[in-house]
């Protein structure tokens, strides 16, 4: 494999046009997060209302919008980061995504109140029953499926236990090595995830802004991803990797 760096999703920012500015730089371009049902669309509008960027795409326009965005990225793999509460309502949109993108990434990471109040986003990390009800149906799409997860929201031991219960349904873990109160990633947590999911593709994420940190994370992951570093243009090191 050539480049081992993935563009991480940033709501309201990472769409097709954004990706086009970084043609050839990334192995996977993650777009979204996108809302696939009424509950998450309304939550997204409320988040926007308090000044945060979001992709609040009207649901009636979503199918043509997403095909257009995916088609803009003809220079790398495309992963689509998604959130929804009602999988049956979201399923036709997931099907469209599965027909055009390379990977579906389920957002089990969002900590915005409007989303966690619905019991989704990072709440999915502890609600295995809801997570598995989503994954059983996503599995039927027969598309590579990644879970975007956040470390240290729940204990790593519990996280591993919960993800092990649904391991048959996903192909990869996109791991934000969030370390509360620290300005560096939780590498030990990533190592434990790597050891517990040897058969899965692991994308290590969080605060990668240098070649040294990239190499450190790649000890325990197949790929690494960046979000804020792209906005700050701290990406020179990628060319040296
Ligand atoms: C403005 C912004 C929006 C984000 N939106 C999403 C999102 O919609 N879905 C998601 O899974 N992660 C989202 N993230 C999290 C990033 O993908 C990434 O996990 C996090 O920023 C840590 O990586 P970094 O240190 O490289 O920025 C967002 C991050 C930022 C800064």
In degrees rounded to 5, what are phi and psi of residue 234?
A: -95, 65
pLDDT at residue 119, as a whole number: 98
For ligand 1, is residue 105 a contact (CB within 6 Å)? no
CA of 206 to the centre of ligand 1 (A): 9
CA of 177 to the centre of ligand 1 (A): 12
pLDDT at residue 101, as a whole number: 98
Share of the chain above pLDDT 90, in %: 98
pLDDT at residue 97, as a whole number: 98
CA of 112 to the centre of ligand 1 (A): 12
For ligand 1, is residue 109 a contact (CB within 6 Å)? yes
Contact residues for 220 (Cβ-Cβ < 8 A; gap 6+)? 187, 190, 191, 193, 194, 202, 204
**Residue of 74, 148, 85, 72 lying closest to 119 (CA atoms):** 85
For ligand 1, is residue 9 a contact (CB within 6 Å)? yes
**C-beta contacts of 203-208 below 8 A and 24+ residues apart:** 203/6, 203/28, 203/146, 203/172, 203/173, 203/174, 203/175, 204/175, 204/177, 205/8, 205/174, 205/175, 205/176, 205/177, 206/176, 206/177, 206/178, 206/179, 207/177, 207/183
Q: Cα torsion for 140, 142, 143, 145, to the nearest 10°? A: 50
Contact residues for 57 (Cβ-Cβ < 8 A; gap 6+)? 34, 35, 41, 65, 66
| Residue matched to tokens 């792209």 | 230
Cβ atoms of residues 19 and 31 within 8 Å: yes
For ligand 1, is residue 10 a contact (CB within 6 Å)? yes
How high does pLDDT run on average in the chain? Answer: 97
Residues in the chain with pLDDT < 50?
1
CA of 71 to the centre of ligand 1 (A): 23
CA of 142 to the centre of ligand 1 (A): 26
For ligand 1, is residue 121 a contact (CB within 6 Å)? no
Mutate to test the pocket of ligand 1, among 6, 7, 9 (most ligand atoms within 8 A of CB): 9
- Residue of minimum CA distance from atom 31 in ligand 1: 228
**Residue of 151, 205, 200 lying closest to 6 (CA atoms):** 205
pLDDT at residue 1, as a whole number: 41
* pTM of the entire predicted model: 0.98
Tell how strand 103-108 and strand 28-35 pair up: unpaired
CA of 93 to the centre of ligand 1 (A): 22
Cβ atoms of residues 148 and 174 within 8 Å: yes
Mutate to test the pocket of ligand 1, among 41, 53, 227 (most ligand atoms within 8 A of CB): 227
CATH assignment, 8-13+31-201: 3.20.20.70
CA of 20 to the centre of ligand 1 (A): 19
For ligand 1, is residue 206 a contact (CB within 6 Å)? yes
């Amino acid at each position: 494999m050539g480049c081992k760096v993935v563009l991480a999703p940033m709501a309201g920012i990472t769409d097709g046009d954004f990706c086009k500015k970084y043609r050839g730089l990334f192995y996977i371009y993650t777009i979204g997060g996108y809302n696939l049902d009424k509950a998450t669309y309304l939550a997204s509008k409320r988040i926007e209302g308090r000044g945060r960027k979001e992709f609040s795409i009207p649901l009636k326009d979503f199918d043509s919008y997403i095909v257009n965005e995916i088609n803009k990225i003809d220079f790398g793999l495309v992963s689509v980061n998604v959130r929804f509460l009602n999988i049956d309502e979201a399923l036709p949109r997931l099907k469209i995504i599965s027909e055009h993108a390379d990977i579906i990434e389920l957002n089990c990471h969002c900590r915005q109140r409007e989303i966690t109040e619905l019991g989704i986003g990072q709440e999915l990390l502890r609600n295995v029953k809801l997570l598995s009800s989503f994954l059983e149906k996503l599995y039927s799409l027969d598309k590579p499926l990644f879970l975007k997860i956040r470390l240290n929201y729940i204990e790593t031991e519990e996280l591993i236990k919960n993800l092990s219960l649904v391991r048959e349904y996903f192909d990869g873990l996109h791991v934000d090595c969030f370390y509360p109160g620290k300005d560096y990633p939780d590498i030990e947590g990533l190592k434990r995830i790597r050891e517990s999911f040897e058969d899965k593709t692991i994308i290590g994420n969080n605060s990668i802004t240098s070649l040294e940190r990239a190499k450190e994370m790649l000890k325990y992951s197949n790929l690494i991803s960046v979000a804020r570093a792209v906005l700050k243009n701290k990406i020179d090191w990628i060319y040296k990797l």
